[in-house]
Amino acid sequence: MDELNGKLIACQILITGLIARVANEQRDPLRFLTDFRDEIKAVVNGVNIAGMESTDRVRAVAQKTVDELFSLMKPPSSE
Task: Report yes or no on 63 lying in a domain.
Answer: yes
Q: Does pLDDT of 76 surpass 60? A: no
Convert the pLDDT of each residue in 47-59 to its tens digit. 777 777 778 888 8
- Residue 52, in any domain of the structure: yes
Domains in the chain, number: 1
52 within 8 A of 58, measured Cβ to Cβ: yes
Q: What is the pLDDT of residue 70?
A: 79
Domain that holds residue 15: 2-71
Q: Has residue 6 got a pLDDT over 80?
A: no
In a domain, 9, yes or no: yes
Q: Is residue 26 part of a domain?
A: yes
The answer to the question of residue 16 being in a domain is yes
Virtual CA dihedral for 51, 5, 58, 36, nearest 10 degrees?
A: -120
| Residue 79 is assigned to a structural domain of this protein | no
* Residue 26: partners with Cβ closer than 8 Å, 6 or more residues away: 32
Inside any domain, residue 19: yes
For residue 47, what are the contacts with CB-CB under 8 A and spacing of at least 6?
Answer: none
Q: CA nearest 16: which of 64, 56, 74, 58?
A: 74
> What pLDDT score was predicted for residue 37?
86
78 in a domain, yes or no?
A: no
